[in-house]
Structure 1
Amino acid sequence: MVGAPVVWSLVTGAPAPLQRLVLAVDGPSGSGKSSVSRRVARVLGLGVLDTGAMYRAVTCAALDRGLDLADADAVAALARAAQLEQSLDPERESVVIDGTDVTTAIREPRVSAAVSAVATNLAVREELVARQRAVAASGGVVIEGRDITTVVAPDAPVRILLTADEGARVARRARELHGTADAQALAATQDLVVLRDARDSTVAAFTTAAEGVVEIDTSALGFDEVVQAVLDVVVARVPEAAAVLHPAEAAR
C-alpha cells in the first residue's frame, strides 16, 4: 500500500514517439548512472527519476527528526507517510519532503554516511519501489538507481547496467566530492563507495546484468562516450528514438 503520494513535476513532456518509453538504468556508486541518465533524458526529451534521492530524502528527514535509523519500524512509518515532491526535469533537481526543500541537504556527508541504513530497510524499499513503479507506469522517463532493471521496471523496453572497476568508481566519486582524485581524496572516498555498495547489495541487485539487460563498462570511457553508448542501445531497442535525437546536444 502506497502512503502519501509523490508529487512529480516535469516542465516539458517527451516527444510523441517516446511518451511511453521507460529507460531503466542500474549501477553501483561511481558508475556514472546519475549524470549519464540526466544527459540522456535531456537529449531524448524525457523526464528523469533519481531513485537514490528518494532514499536520501527519507534519510535526511529521519536524521532531522532525531529518529534512530536502527528503528526499522519508525523509519518505515516515516517513509509511508512522507509527502515527496521531486522534479523529473533533467535540467532542474528539486527534492522536497513534507514541505522542506532538501535538494542540497540530501548530498551532505551526514546523509551519504547514513543512507544505506534506510536503503536496506525492506519496508522502506517496498514503499518507495511502489512509488517508483507508479512513475514507470506513466512512461516518458529515465529511471536510475538500484533494482531498477529487475524490480522497478523489469518490463522496460530499454534496460541498462552501467558498471566500472572499483578504482575508476572511487576516483570519480572523489573528484565529485573533493574536486580531486589525489591519494588523500581517494582514501577519504574509498569506504564511502565500497562499503555502501556492499551494504546495499544485501537487498538490491546492481552489479550483474540480468537477462535482457545490456551491460556497459564505463571504466575506460569518457562521459560523452558513455552517453553515446547508452543512446546507441536506446536506438537499437527503440528505433523511433533516432527521430528525436539531437547529435549536437548529445555531444555537448
Structure 2
Amino acid sequence: MGCNIAIDGPAGAGKSTIAKKVAKELSFIYVDTGAMYRAMAYYLLSQGIKGDEQEAIAEKCQGADISIEYKDGEQIVILNGENVNGVIRTEEVGNMASVSSANPKVREHLLKLQRTLAASNDVVMDGRDIGTTILPDAEVKIYLTASPETRAKRRALEYEQKGIACDINQICQDIVARDLRDMNREISPLKQAEDAVLVDSSEMGIDEVVNAILHVYRQKVQA
C-alpha cells in the first residue's frame, strides 16, 4: 500500500510546482493529473472538437491512450505514444481541459490509471478533486490556493519567461471564470475536502509552501 498526499486547488495556485518539490523531498512519485487532463484536451482539440460538443467529447475521448513515464527524474506525459509535454501548457488547452474534465466519460477513462498508481506507490497527486474524489482516503490532504490577482501575475511571469506575449488582465479574467466553472460543475466540483489543510500561498514563497506541507505530512504520518 502506498502513502498518498493529495493537493487540490484552483488553476494557477502553483499546485504542480509545489507537488513536484514535495515529492522530491520525500522520494515519492509525482502524478500530475492536470497534465493528464491537458493531454486529453490537446487530443480532443487535435480532433477538431470544441468545448461545447459534449457528445463528441464523450465519444472521441476513448481514442486517447494517456500514460506517465519518468526519464531522468522528469515526468513525461505520453499521448498515443508521443511525448506531449511541450504542447499541453497553453491557455487554449487549459480552458479545454477545464470543460472536458467535467465530462463523465473523460473522467472514467483516466480515473483507473490514477488510482492504480496511488494504490501501489507513495505518490503526491495534484488536481481539482484528488482529496474529495480520486483519493478520498489519502493520508494527507492539502487545499492550496492564492488570490486571482496573485495567480494571474505568476502565470504572466511564466509566459514572459518563455517569450510569450500576454495580457495580465485577460489572464485574471480567465482565472476567475475558470474558478466559477470548476466550482459549479456537476461532477466532482472543485472544493476543499473536510479533512484538508488550507494553505494560502498569496504571500508565501515556494519553499515556505513546501515546508508547510512537509510539516503537515510529518504531523499526520510520522507522528
Q: TM-score, normalised by structure 1?
A: 0.79
Cα separation, partners in 2 of 1:61 and 1:166, compared to 1, 3 Å: same
Could you tell me how far apart the structure 1 residues matched to 2:14 and 2:128 are?
A: 13
Q: What residue in structure 1 maps to residue 201 of structure 2?
A: 218
Shift of 1:222: 0.6
Shift of 1:20: 1.7
In structure 1, give the amino acid aligned to 2:175.
V
RMSD: 2.2
String of CA shifts for 1:78-106, please: whole Å, max 9, x gaps: 33342212135794131111122211111
Cα separation, partners in 2 of 1:233 and 1:216, compared to 1, 3 Å: same
Q: What residue in structure 1 maps to residue 220 of structure 2?
A: 237
Picking from 132, 137, 140, the partner of 2:114 is: 132
Q: What residue in structure 1 maps to residue 54 of structure 2?
A: 72
Could you tell me how far apart the structure 2 residues matched to 1:221 and 1:89 are?
A: 31
Could you tell me how far apart the structure 2 residues matched to 1:91 and 1:101 are?
A: 15
Residue 165 (structure 2) pairs with residue 206 (structure 1): no
Q: What residue in structure 2 maps to residue 186 of structure 1?
A: 168
String of CA shifts for 1:141-192, please: whole Å, max 9, x gaps: 1010011001000101111111112221222122122349xxx742131123
In structure 1, give the amino acid aligned to 2:17.
S
In structure 2, give the amino acid aligned to 1:202.
N
Residue 33 (structure 2) pairs with residue 51 (structure 1): yes
Equivalent pair of 1:170/1:189 in contact (CA under 8 Å): yes
In structure 2, give the amino acid aligned to 1:41.
A
Cα separation, partners in 2 of 1:89 and 1:200, compared to 1, 3 Å: farther
Identity over the aligned pairs, expressed in percent?
Answer: 37
Gap regions ≥5 residues in structure 1: 1-18, 241-252
Gap regions ≥5 residues in structure 2: none
Q: TM-score, normalised by structure 2?
A: 0.88
Aligned residues: 218
